[in-house]
Amino acid sequence: MILDLTDDTVLHELWTVQRLAYAVEAELIGFDGIPPLHESLEELRSSGETFLGLYDEEGLVGAVSYQLDGSTVDICRLVVHPRAHRRGIASKLLDSLPAGPQIVSTGTKNEPALRLYRKRGFVETGEFEVAPGVTITSLSRP
């Protein structure tokens, strides 16, 4: 379902899940400078991304955001609440994206994310350094 970030309750739920999810990634990659980890509610609301979310009995459990670049789906964020890891939430969110070629990036040391993307047909297209000793891996799939 599309998340309406003009709704303050939805915005706060997303912001909370995002912070929890990126805190896990920060631990995995040894770097807490991940921009969405420090984003304000208003910065999140004005991101310009389309957000899709999944709920369970306890609330928002995960979200994916994207922007379209022509026919290419640029996956900006994929976050899953830590209480829901290993329940297929990320795969369901990826399945909800529009059809077309997809690109994404994640921390090179974020093995769980890299495994997920590789399993879903993404191939690595490059790496770039964002801070001393911290690299991001870019991936794509047709």
User: What CATH number should be reported for the domain holding residue 74?
Assistant: 3.40.630.30
Strands 102-107 and 72-80 turn out to be: parallel
52 occurs within a structural domain: yes
Non-local CB neighbours of 58 within 8 Å, separated by 6+ positions: 83
As a whole number of angstroms, the distance between CA 92 and CA 23 comes to 22
For residue 32, the enclosing domain spans: 8-141
Judged by DSSP in three states, 13 sits in: helix
128 occurs within a structural domain: yes
The total number of structural domains that make up the chain: 1
Q: What is the DSSP letter of 38?
A: G
As a whole number of angstroms, the distance between CA 54 and CA 21 comes to 14
3 occurs within a structural domain: no
137 occurs within a structural domain: yes
Model pTM? 0.94
pLDDT, one tens digit per residue, over 18-31 is: 999 999 999 999 99
Closest CA to 31 of 140, 141, 135: 135
2 occurs within a structural domain: no
pLDDT, one tens digit per residue, over 34-65 is: 999 999 999 999 999 999 999 999 999 999 99
49 occurs within a structural domain: yes
Q: How many CB atoms lie within 10 A of CB 50?
A: 17
pLDDT for residue 84: 94
1 occurs within a structural domain: no
